[in-house]
Amino acid sequence: MTTQTPSLNNQPETLPSNTLDKSLSRQIIVILDFGSQYSELIARRIRETQVYSEVLSYRTTVEKLRQLNPKGIILSGGPNSVYDDRAPQCDPRIWELGIPVLGVCYGMQLMVKQLGGQVEKAIRGEYGKASLRIDDPTDLLTNVEDGSTMWMSHGDSCTRLPDGFSILAHTENTLCAAIADHNKKLFGVQFHPEVVHSVDGIALIRNFVYHICECEPTWTTEAFVDETIREIRAKVGDKRVLLALSGGVDSSTLAFLLHQAIGDKLTCMFIDQGFMRKGEPERLMEIFDRQFHIPVEYVNARDRFLKQLEGVTDPEKKRRLIGHEFIQVFEEESKRLGPFDYLAQGTLYPDVIESADTNVDPKTGERVAVKIKSHHNVGGLPKDLRFKLVEPLRKLFKDEVRKVGRSIGLPEEIVRRHPFPGPGLAIRIIGEVTSERLNILRDADFVVRDEIGKQGMYHDFWQAFAVLLPIRSVGVMGDQRTYAHPVVLRLIQSEDGMTADWAKVPYDLLEIMSNRIVNEVKGVNRVVYDITSKPPGTIEWE
């Protein structure tokens, strides 16, 4: 693998690691979260500049920050008003650290208030796109075009700045759209540079990271992979590791990474619950076991899972039953194949931010598994089935996992695989799940994937799939009356799955998919297209 030289114009794929040497580990930008929906997005934007970032609580103390020794601190936005009695506050000693700080929206207002300025309810709130008029094109706003669009979302405004601050930019409704105390390297913006709607937002972020915080673009995929492999080997030693493989990009990347690190001390277990798409279990075994020689223990549990769902129509009950059965099978098979000292989990950084579902061994201080994190939504493992955890991906976002997977040779068909729910086709069959309905849905779903693949459009969609409805409708086929199922096509476009829009698919492609499904899939005589966005709908039907 060749090592890429970072540059601002031609950047290698960027990834974090908490394991690099001390000189690099100091290269961190800390985001203090005040409840913003965009805090994770800020972290992702920082990482795009090849500098590691972490999201921490606004309650983080100055002592903790000194230990981390960040190159810069960003205060996120938030839903509160800084003048409310119970508004969240950061440690006021932060301003004495001598570390550059960027306040975003609420973060800027909190900076102003704590340093002696004034924030009041705005005469006119500002939401959505606004034209940024630049008064001082230096430092933070270098290379930010005058009049560029920025995304606003605020009902309060700064009416008096603290001593030492000056205005960098304004908008039609906001006098203090960007501010700075250049001497103390304290900056604030009333808009959200991290969102895609802010045209020159990434330029502003680069200015803060590179020029103000003086970071170097040192966090690359290659560095992450090399250092993580060394860390895994040091931690695991000659012990055995068990990984529940699902076929998704997270567990697959983890399998490849672990196999490179510890070879045959890794055991991958694939539990086939019978709810995967057509040909997927066979393809998974082909790729791992035969193509890349990563042994996988295949467990055929289809009948067990199907029996659990007999007569069940409630979607949440389906999920619980599938999760419970997965735990039972996992427990039985791990005992058969074991003993194991470590359980490998594909925990990602958003899971770390959003969840505190961890337990600590009082003797060793190591995290132990009380939950198995996988695409199966499996819930908690039995408490007497305890492993130490190996979580090499827990500092990565999803897009970063894909970069790692690609760099270590994971096939592109897995790297760019559409997201697939843990319970699989079981929650794309509305109502009771039966063997007959599974076969119908598998065949219909295959047509959708086959056609968008033939058209070269697979990667145009976040997800593309079929849903089977538990009703029947009248149709005519070959002069005969039919009474068969309708199938719903769901093709959506999204950046991250949090919001989504239905895809404006060409009519001729819809026509081809409809004709093929009706003609090739026994038990279907009608095809409809779901044109609901998220919100108000969800991506999945259950």
Write out the catalytic residue numbers. 105, 192, 194
CB-CB contact of 26 with 51 (8 Å):
no
Six-digit token pair at 152?
Answer: 């606003």
Rounded Cα gap, residues 20 and 26, in angstroms: 10
Rounded Cα gap, residues 199 and 130, in angstroms: 11
Rounded Cα gap, residues 166 and 150, in angstroms: 20
β 72-75/118-131 pair status: unpaired
Neighbours of 530 (CB within 10 A): 15
Q: Residue 6: is the preceding peptide bond cis (ω within 30°)?
A: no
CB-CB contact of 529 with 507 (8 Å):
no
Find where tokens 């005992």 sit. Answer: 335
DSSP 381: P
Rounded Cα gap, residues 189 and 47, in angstroms: 20
β 101-104/186-189 pair status: parallel
Torsion, CA 349, CA 350, CA 352, CA 357, rounded to 10: -140
Rounded Cα gap, residues 290 and 304, in angstroms: 27
The closest of 54, 44, 82 to 188, measured between CA atoms, is 82
